[in-house]
C-alpha cells in the first residue's frame, strides 16, 4: 500500500453527523466490516464481546430516543451495537480452550495448564475489573471497524452518547451478561453534512508522541 493512500483513508473518514438515508451499504461491505471485528486481536484472545446488527427500524427509533435524538441511530444505512461481557465467569476461558483444541490440536496438558492459569488469573479479579477489561477489548474492535469502514469508503460514526440503561433495555440485554457501551452507525454522508468540510482537530505529534 502506498503511503499516501494509507493516510488518505484516515483523513477521509470523519464522525458523520448526517447520513444520506437513501443510500444503503452493500451486504459485501457489511460482511467485510463484521469480519474485521471478528479478526480483532484481544488480550489472551478471549474476545469478551459481541456485536449486534440492529436491522429493526422500531428498535433503531427507540435507540435514537435513548441516544439523545442523534439522527445517526436511524438515518445511517446500518447500525451496530457493541456489547461487552459483563460479569463473566469461566465460560469465556472454556470457549477459548475448546476452540484452540479444535483448531490447533495442541498438547492437551499444555492447553489445559494454560486454561487453569487463565481461570486463576480472572478468578482473582472482581466483577467490575472483568467488565472494565472486557469493555477495553471491545473498543479495540470498534477502532478496527472504524478503520475497516474508511478503507471501504463507507462513512461511519461511533456513538457513545446514549443512556446506557435505556439502550440495554431496548436491546433486551438487561437480564443477560452483556452491556452495550458503544454503537457504530455506517453508511454514506449526506451532502448537507457540514462537518465533512471541517479540518481535523488533533494535538500535534510533539504533544502525543514521546521518544525516550
Query: Which CB sits closer to ligand FMN, 35 or 160?
Result: 160
Q: Which of 90, 116, 160, 176 binds ligand FMN (CB under 6 A)?
A: 160
Q: Which residue has the cell 502506498?
A: 2
Least separation in angstroms between CB 157 and ligand FMN = 5
- Nearest partner of 182 among 50, 25, 32, judged by Cα: 50
Q: Is 197 in the site for ligand FMN (CB under 6 A)?
A: no
Q: Yes or no: say if 142 and 182 are a contact pair by the CB < 8 Å rule.
A: yes
Q: Yes or no: say if 93 and 46 are a contact pair by the CB < 8 Å rule.
A: yes
Q: How far apart are the first and last CA of the chain?
A: 29
Query: Which CB sits closer to ligand FMN, 108 or 199?
Result: 199
In whole angstroms, what is the distance from residue 12 CA to residue 200 CA? 10
How many residues bind ligand FMN (CB under 6 A)? The answer is 11
Q: Which of 40, 62, 70, 77 binds ligand FMN (CB under 6 A)?
A: 70
In whole angstroms, what is the distance from residue 191 CA to residue 181 CA? 29
Q: Is 184 in the site for ligand FMN (CB under 6 A)?
A: no
Q: Is 14 in the site for ligand FMN (CB under 6 A)?
A: yes
- Interaction mask 164-183, ligand FMN, x per CB under 6 A: ------------------x-
Sole window of 9-17, 19-27, 37-45, 52-60 interacting with ligand FMN (rule: CB under 6 A): 9-17
Q: Which of 9, 15, 50, 101 binds ligand FMN (CB under 6 A)?
A: 15
Q: Which of 97, 131, 152, 157 binds ligand FMN (CB under 6 A)?
A: 157
- Residues in 19-48 at the binding interface with ligand FMN, rule: CB under 6 A: none
- Nearest partner of 161 among 19, 17, 38, judged by Cα: 17
Query: HSE (CB half, 13 Å, CA atoms) of 151?
Result: 13
Query: CA distances (Å), 9 to each of 51, 132, 167, in order?
Result: 24, 30, 31
Contacts to ligand FMN by CB under 6 A: 14-15, 17, 70, 157-161, 182, 200
Amino acid at each position: 500500500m502506498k503511503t499516501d493512500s494509507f493516510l488518505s483513508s484516515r483523513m477521509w473518514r470523519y464522525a458523520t453527523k448526517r447520513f444520506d438515508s437513501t443510500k444503503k451499504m452493500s451486504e459485501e461491505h457489511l460482511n467485510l466490516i463484521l469480519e474485521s471485528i471478528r479478526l480483532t486481536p484481544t488480550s489472551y484472545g478471549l474476545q469478551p464481546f459481541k456485536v449486534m446488527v440492529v436491522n429493526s427500524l422500531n428498535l433503531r427509533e427507540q435507540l435514537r430516543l435513548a441516544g439523545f435524538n442523534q439522527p445517526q441511530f436511524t438515518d445511517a444505512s446500518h447500525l451496530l451495537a457493541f456489547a461487552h461481557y459483563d460479569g463473566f465467569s469461566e465460560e469465556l476461558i472454556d470457549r477459548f480452550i475448546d476452540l484452540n483444541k479444535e483448531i490447533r490440536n495442541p498438547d492437551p496438558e499444555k492447553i489445559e495448564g494454560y486454561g487453569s492459569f487463565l481461570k486463576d488469573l480472572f478468578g482473582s479479579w472482581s466483577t467490575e475489573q472483568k467488565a472494565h477489561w472486557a469493555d477495553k477489548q471491545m473498543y479495540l474492535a470498534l477502532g478496527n471497524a472504524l478503520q475497516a469502514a474508511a478503507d471501504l469508503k463507507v462513512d461511519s460514526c461511533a456513538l457513545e452518547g446514549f443512556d446506557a440503561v435505556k439502550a440495554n433495555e431496548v436491546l433486551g440485554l438487561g437480564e443477560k451478561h452483556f452491556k452495550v457501551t458503544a454503537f457504530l452507525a455506517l453508511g454514506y454522508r449526506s451532502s448537507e453534512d457540514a462537518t465533512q468540510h471541517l479540518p481535523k482537530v488533533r494535538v500535534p505529534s510533539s504533544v502525543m508522541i514521546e521518544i525516550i
